[in-house]
Amino acid sequence: MIRKELLAVVASEVTVCTKCPLWKTRRDAVPGEGSAKSKIMFFGEAPGRSEDAQGRPFVGAAGKFLDELLSEIGLSREDVFITNVVKCRPPRNRAPKSLEVQTCTPYLDRQTRIIKPKFIVTLGNYATAYIFSNAKLPFSGITQAHGKPHEVAILGLKAIVFPMFHPATVLYNPKYKTMLRQDFQSLNDELERTLHSRKS
């Protein structure tokens, strides 16, 4: 099967998944979307209200800002693959519990193994903690880790993990917004250094 079909299989399982309690309060599960051939994956935390209503990742206020950040470095959503650590919305947007992360991340792992990205951009504490723990890297919070890429060997692939602040947490803080913009510029520099072509 080709990558796109394999991703569709994962998505169809996510859509009807009842493996953790979050299925009871979700409206739509949010498997993730983008290019199956992308060299770059973005990992968020969990769907919020708009995502739960539409079944699509990053379509609310944080998503609009993410679109802006992507376009500032010449990328669109179609060039990348965007998904979340947890695929169903936690009630009232509370943080995902560790059991939920544990139960759901096999889906994220499968998506990652299928796409085989060269870059994994982790947005915020949850996504970064998950990948750093997989890569056996010490993690003491996104404030320390953001903007510093790491080469890792995880899930049978070699990739560069690029931690960043979560767009939702910086939305109303100009100073942090600027830092996130700067991290996107560093990502762009890194992409230009590493990839001959961003699209394949």
Residues at the interface with ligand URA (CB under 6 A): 44-48, 51, 57-58, 60, 62-63, 84, 168
* 85 part of the interface to ligand SF4, by CB under 6 A: no
Residue 26 makes CB contacts below 8 A (sequence gap 6+) with 47, 52, 88, 89
- The residue from 56, 87, 146, 198 that contacts ligand SF4 (CB under 6 A) is 87
Task: Provide the β-strand partners of residue 151.
Answer: 160
Task: Provide the β-strand partners of residue 43.
Answer: 83, 122
Task: Provide the β-strand partners of residue 163.
Answer: 122
* 30 part of the interface to ligand SF4, by CB under 6 A: no
The count of residues in the chain is 200
60 versus 117: smaller Cβ distance to ligand URA: 60
Distance in Å, CB of 22 to ligand SF4, minimum: 4
Residue 48 makes CB contacts below 8 A (sequence gap 6+) with 60, 62, 89, 93, 168
Please identify, among the stretches 16-24, 56-64, 160-168, 185-193, the one whose residues bind ligand SF4 according to the rule CB under 6 A: 16-24
Residue 112 makes CB contacts below 8 A (sequence gap 6+) with 41, 120, 154, 155, 157
Using CB distances below 5 to 8 A depending on partner kind, what does residue 188 bind out of ligand URA, ligand SF4, none?
none
* 10 part of the interface to ligand SF4, by CB under 6 A: no
95 versus 194: smaller Cβ distance to ligand URA: 95
Q: Are 81 and 38 in contact (CB under 8 A)?
A: yes
Q: Are 127 and 111 in contact (CB under 8 A)?
A: no
- The residue from 33, 100, 152, 191 that contacts ligand SF4 (CB under 6 A) is 100
* 17 part of the interface to ligand SF4, by CB under 6 A: yes
d(CA 141, CA 125): 6
15 versus 200: smaller Cβ distance to ligand URA: 15
Q: Which residues bind ligand SF4 (CB under 6 A)?
A: 14, 17-20, 22-23, 29, 86-88, 100, 103-104
